[in-house]
Amino acid sequence: VVVALAATESRPDLATLAAIGAAPATRKRIVVAQAGTIVVIGTILGVLTGLVLAAALVLFKGNELTQVNPLWTIEVPWLVIAAMAVALPTRAVGAAWLATSSRLASPAAWPGEHQLHHVTSLQHAGPAPM
């Protein structure tokens, strides 16, 4: 969702890049880099949060019990975490690459922009004749 929102908000910036002559591949690389950055940061924060919450649960349950229970230990599935840390960013970057069009839609086709363009064109038209 965050990647989609960021891509939507960057449309005017991509249009500006196209207007000054940036190649479609350059615009695609920007979108892919943005998606990759968001997903890598999200993956790192998600893994760290999960590990901290798991440790807190084990410590809480360990202190709650009167006897030490060997079942309450932390076993980190490093292979699964490593696979997800590689797979999630790779899929997100691939999806961003495939979803980003080489050609941009005209600004009139952007949602919400039509009303803004209509209002500004009315302002430039001057006062209505009486």
Residue-level pLDDT at 97: 82
Residue-level pLDDT at 114: 47
| DSSP H helical ranges for 10-127 | 11-19, 24-64, 78-99, 113-125
Percent of the residues in the chain that have a pLDDT greater than 90, as a whole number? 7
Q: Under a CB-based contact definition with an 8 Å cutoff, are residues 6 and 34 in contact?
A: yes
Q: Could you report the per-residue pLDDT of 25-49, keeping only the tens digit for each?
A: 888 888 888 888 988 899 899 989 9
| pTM (predicted TM-score) | 0.62
Q: Where are the domains of the chain?
A: 1-68
Q: Under a CB-based contact definition with an 8 Å cutoff, are residues 95 and 28 in contact?
A: no
Residue 124 pLDDT > 60: no
Residue 56 pLDDT > 60: yes
